[in-house]
Structure 1
Amino acid sequence: MRILERFFNFYITSSLHVALACISLVYLSFLQVQVVPDVAFLWFSLGLAISGYNFVKYIPALIQHFHTDYYKRNRGILYFSMFVIILTSLLFLQLSFPKYYILFPFLLLTFMYVFPLSGTCKNLRTIPGIKIVIVAIVWVGITYIVPVFYMNVVTMLSFMEIFQRFLLILILMIPFEIRDLSEDQEFLQTLPQAVGIFSSKKIGYVLVFLFLMLSFAQYVWEAQKCLPDVLMAIVLFFSLKYTKKTQSNYYSSFWVEGIPILYVVLWKFLP
């Protein structure tokens, strides 16, 4: 039982779970543009998500606490991350990716989220009010824009799907913003800090409504295709409704973070 608990904890803290959520949305993008999913690109996206998230979570702390036991306590995750970075780099070299430059703005945003570009600048995370927006932009880029450009299947509907994906990520971020309310420094002006928990949830409900309206607008002549989005809107609504400042250990980091996995299952198996 203790082995299972340690494995599950590693699964969460090593960003494997959030990476599965990421490639679920990449897979969803392939379904939405009606192309056969590229397995190599999915593996690349998985490695990119693990590398990116662990870079954001652990590298700043490692630099700050280099002379403490932080490295010893997290060396398993750090070694795992280095292994994934090497494999992901090799995969990138194997991909036929003529428009690879599309990837770099999102990698740059990830880097700037952690490190300032010059000594006089702040990193993006410390600029008041934009943390949630930067995260949503990077997620939309990695899970929709990059795969669609990779497959060269950009259409007029792509712009609506980009906006819908952006709304989805904003909604999913709200439970994390509420969870981190007591830990985030006040100057960050995250959504709950700026408007409070109750108003943050109300904003989330409005975003869920807009998410659903975009689905109806896209599939106005194919109403059955809206069913996954309708069910997803219900799930998103209740995930916001039951979000609290004091959460169970895995409410956001497992259940909310797993919602994209459910989303792609609905899209794959519902008519």
Structure 2
Amino acid sequence: MRIFKTILDFYIESSLHVALAVYALIRITFFKLNIPYDEPVAYFGFYGTIVGYNFIKYDELARVKKIVLTLKFKYIIALSVFSFFASIFYFFQLFFLTQLIGVLVLLITVLYTLPLFPKMDNMRNWSGIKIYLVAIAWVGVTVVLPVVNGEIDFTFQIAFKCFQRFLFVFILMLLFEIIDLQFDAVPLKTIPQRMGVQKTKISSYLLIVFFLLLEFLIPNFNSIQFVISFLVSLLLLFFTFYANSNRDKYYTSLWVESVPFFWLVLLLFFG
């Protein structure tokens, strides 16, 4: 049991789980927009997420020397280095415009962690902005990159998908902010800090309903995909209802981040 927990902790702390969630959302975009499977985009998103998230999580700790080089952390460094070269390999297989968008997402990641100017906080510490930055970055990687590299015209349907994906990620991030309420510094002014947990949950419920109702606006409405989106919405409602600041790290970092896998599996089998 201890070995299993060690492996599970490494899987989460190395950002493998969140990277697979990004990969799943990219595959969902392929499926929803009838884009042929594009390996460079899918794997650039996967490996780039490992690099970006590990940079965000461990850069500041490394700079203030709060990280002990345990065996687990050495493995995380090794995985991050491998993922960096793998993401570079797939980056050069993307079209030029796709590369520009990838660089823009990278810039957001860097500015999220490092201050733009000396004596200025990084964007992570800008009050109330964190949740929007993350949602925009995820939309860029999981929707815009597949569309641009697939040379798909940017139509109303694509813009619609970007907005719906933004809502989905925003709802997930609200869950993280509720769970992290006891750890977030007051100046961050997260949504639960400003509105309280119950009002944040009510807002989340409304956003989930809105996310589902948007399915009716999709051209060529598909009843099976609506049922799948309904099941995904139910899962989001379930996680939101039971979210509180006393939940352990596995609640969000494992189970909540598994929602994209659930969505993808349903689409692959029934969509």
* TM-score, normalised via structure 1 length: 0.94
Whether the 8 Å contact between 1:191 and 1:200 is mirrored in structure 2 is yes
Aligned-residue Cα RMSD (Å) equals 1.5
Partner of 1:31: 31
Partner of 1:98: 96
Partner of 2:197: 197
Whether the 8 Å contact between 1:216 and 1:223 is mirrored in structure 2 is no
SS at match of 2:96: coil
Whether the 8 Å contact between 2:139 and 2:162 is mirrored in structure 1 is yes
Partner of 1:209: 209
Could you report, residue by residue, the CA deviation over 1:135-174 in whole angstroms, capped at 9, with x for unpaired residues? 1011111111111111111332001110000000011111
Whether the 8 Å contact between 1:219 and 1:225 is mirrored in structure 2 is no
Q: Which segment is superposed worse, 113-122 or 235-244?
A: 113-122
Could you report, residue by residue, the CA deviation over 1:18-67 in whole angstroms, capped at 9, with x for unpaired residues? 100000000111111102211232122110111111010011111111xx
CA gap 1:208/1:220 in 2 versus in 1, 3 angstroms: farther
CA distance in structure 2 between the partners assigned to 1:222 and 1:26 by the alignment: 20
CA distance in structure 1 between the partners assigned to 2:146 and 2:166 by the alignment: 15
SS at match of 1:266: helix
Structure 1: gaps of 5 or more residues = none
CA gap 1:189/1:13 in 2 versus in 1, 3 angstroms: same
* TM-score, normalised via structure 2 length: 0.94
Q: How does 1:226-241 map to 2 (within 5 A)?
A: 226-241=226-241
Could you report, residue by residue, the CA deviation over 1:81-116 in whole angstroms, capped at 9, with x for unpaired residues? 1121122112222x1413121222211111110011
Whether the 8 Å contact between 2:23 and 2:42 is mirrored in structure 1 is yes
Structure 2: gaps of 5 or more residues = none
CA distance in structure 2 between the partners assigned to 1:136 and 1:69 by the alignment: 28
Partner of 1:140: 139
Structure 1 residue runs of 4 or more that deviate by more than 4 Å after TM superposition = none
**Equivalent pairs, count:** 268
CA gap 1:69/1:102 in 2 versus in 1, 3 angstroms: closer
Q: Is residue 2:69 matched to residue 1:71?
A: yes
CA gap 1:213/1:186 in 2 versus in 1, 3 angstroms: same
Whether the 8 Å contact between 2:61 and 2:67 is mirrored in structure 1 is no
% same residue: 35
CA gap 1:3/1:149 in 2 versus in 1, 3 angstroms: same
Partner of 1:251: 251
SS at match of 2:69: helix
* 1:69 CA drift (Å): 5.3
CA distance in structure 1 between the partners assigned to 2:228 and 2:219 by the alignment: 12
Partner of 2:225: 225
SS at match of 1:56: helix
Q: Which segment is superposed worse, 261-270 or 44-53?
A: 261-270
SS at match of 2:184: coil
